[in-house]
Chain A
């Protein structure tokens, strides 16, 4: 290995890949076979964290940052004057194995600029994954980018070696896409997604009948949208997500606050703050959709197209629906308890366990980790005193904000302290 040369390439190609925020390495069922290397049947591990607090789980690089396209929001775009580099297939394989053996990473996330054409690029990505699986007996995690416009045959092959495939929508609206990425059409993203979805379904059903059917993209598909580059509302973004989750069975949609990288007049100028708070609110909404049983129509609508910035989306929903409260903690079903502001899923579980043994009162609930300062307006429990006063939504909001002012002080000026943007707390 020529370490100096690899180092140069790594600097360029890791730097270019970092704007893709996905770093998940969970959800695969690939176990170690024949005493090979690696195992990705577990939870997925963050081996380190960047100074911006994001999980480092995978070696995330581009195969090359040469690109024939000119998407305005992307550092790799053709017209950008930056150093370019390309890895050889074997170099990526060696680097992945060396890092994996030292417990630096869970696996590889390989993306690429589009060189020559979509299929040529996709073929090279597949070649890396295939070598890792076949020659190195590598069972770690592999996430490959589906190159927009790649053929069905290639997408079919990619899923045989990759745990996850993703194709980034980036710009949620058709108009925005036309403006910022004129070379791309929405269908170029959706087609590989559709193909992979169908293959997953087919392989799953075959696997039920024939046990040794190979696994196909066991960790499913994901996508990413850039937030704040093309002026979309939160509703446009989240209705897109809800659609993608449903139509393509996506495992995850990632939201990436736009990081200004260009003086292009179509985009927010360099120096504009990254919309971190907004990004966090979108993740919270996403969580509510996937784990808390909410429907997108309950959270965003024509009348209510953007999320509140001062309160989280669950609280915001609860305040619009005060008629459904208070909820009796000792009787209500799981779904309704999960809808109470200040009670996260872990607490829901603990409440359900604990109330089998006795009726719960405030001290129990606090010990179980609920945020009583918010929840108290929405629940009753086994206690003589609870918030009986009839308060309006505005009054409750005022009281909650007042109490949490100190804690959340930093958040409104865009400095997130308490929330991890990739696994936000929804309470």
Chain B
């Protein structure tokens, strides 16, 4: 019988599951986040809620650090951020294979499990890069540059370094509407923040600086003038900017 291990959705939580699997020599398991459990599974399976244990998590991570290349560690972390159901099992398989192997295996693309994991990570990377590109800040009345997003994967942690290096002299917030948290740079460091109100409801007239609409209008205008109609290629356009991102993009808004 398959046993379901349920964890709280944190990275430490996942590592605690790995600890348990090794500690109790478990096999035939599925790993799920709390939020994923209800709708997916029958009453007949066995289930156990694994408490997040930071000490256990640290021990697992330490072992992985000794066995994995940097590439391999990123592979695990990014696959975790994908939040795709089932990726925990792929991560576990990778970890098990890696711990048995004598050298790093994260680039062994002839192994179907690793190839599958790399494909997930590629999707995460792509989403991260799209956010670097498609985030659009608006200046609030308080002078903070503010952007809301709702990415397919939980990539915000991966974006911190990029934005911190780029916008070192302005305060900014990027807020994930789906996961209800944001990152805030206060000119010194980046912190994780949450809001009590719904920042998606901020409208152009409330909260934002007056000149904001002017700059957006200028940008829209620029975007229009830079197009060459005799080269129009809608399919290519959609391929580069999938429709689900249009909501962020001032230039694509009517």
Q: Which A positions have Cβ atoms within 8 angstroms of B?
A: 1, 3, 6-7, 10-11, 14-15, 17-19, 31-32, 35-39, 41-42, 45-56, 59-60, 95, 98-99, 101-104, 137, 257, 259-260, 274, 276, 350, 353-358, 360, 364, 367-368, 415-417, 420
Contact = CB atoms under 8 A, between A and B. Distances in A.
B218 A15 contact: no
A137 B170 CA distance: 13
A32 to B, nearest CB: 5
Interface in B59-79: none
Contacts of B230: 259-260, 274
Contact of A46 (B170, B214, B217, B240): B240
A59 B222 CA distance: 8
B29 interface: no
Given A53-B231, A98-B215, A259-B230, 10 more contacts: A3-B218, A18-B227, A35-B168, A39-B166, A48-B134, A48-B223, A52-B228, A53-B237, A55-B240, A357-B111
Nearest to B252: A48
A353 B215 CA distance: 48
Nearest to B116: A367
Given A14-B222, A18-B225, A39-B165, A50 B237 contact: yes
B169 interface: yes
A38 B215 CA distance: 19
A10 B165 contact: no
B115 interface: yes
B112 interface: yes
Interface stretch (B3-11, B12-20, B42-50, B135-143): B135-143
Interface stretch (B32-40, B88-96, B102-110, B199-207): B102-110
Interface in B185-235: 187, 211, 214-215, 217-219, 221-223, 225-235
Interface of B: 105, 107-112, 115, 129, 132-139, 145, 147, 162, 165-170, 187, 211, 214-215, 217-219, 221-223, 225-237, 239-241, 249-252
A32 B136 contact: no
Contacts of A420: 236, 240
A18 B226 contact: yes
14 contacts: A11-B221, A17-B226, A18-B226, A35-B169, A47-B133, A49-B236, A50-B223, A99-B218, A101-B139, A102-B219, A259-B230, A350-B109, A360-B110, A364-B109
Contacts of A415: 233
Interface SS of A by simple majority:
loop
Contacts of A15: 225-226
A47 B227 CA distance: 14
Contact of B231 (A102, A276, A350): A276
A10 B224 CA distance: 11
Nearest to A6: B218
Contact of A102 (B129, B136, B228): B136
A49 B120 CA distance: 25
Contact of B225 (A14, A38, A42, A55): A14
Contact of B109 (A19, A46, A354): A354
B165 A3 contact: no
Nearest to A21: B228
A31 B164 CA distance: 12
Given A42-B162, A51-B234, A137-B169, A102 B138 contact: yes
A82 B219 CA distance: 23
Nearest to A355: B110
Contacts of A51: 227, 232-234, 237
The 9 closest A-B pairs by CB, nearest first: A53-B236, A52-B231, A14-B225, A49-B240, A354-B110, A354-B109, A15-B225, A35-B168, A53-B233
Contacts of A260: 230
Contacts of B250: 104
A14 B220 CA distance: 12
A383 to B, nearest CB: 13
B217 A7 contact: yes
Given A3-B214, A7-B217, A367 B236 contact: no
B110 A358 contact: yes
Contacts of B226: 14-15, 17-18, 50, 56, 60
A259 B236 contact: no
Given A3-B217, A357-B110, A37 B169 contact: yes
Contacts of B169: 35-37, 137
A99 B217 CA distance: 11
B223 A102 contact: no
Given A10-B225, A103-B136, A367-B109, A31 B165 contact: yes
A349 to B, nearest CB: 9
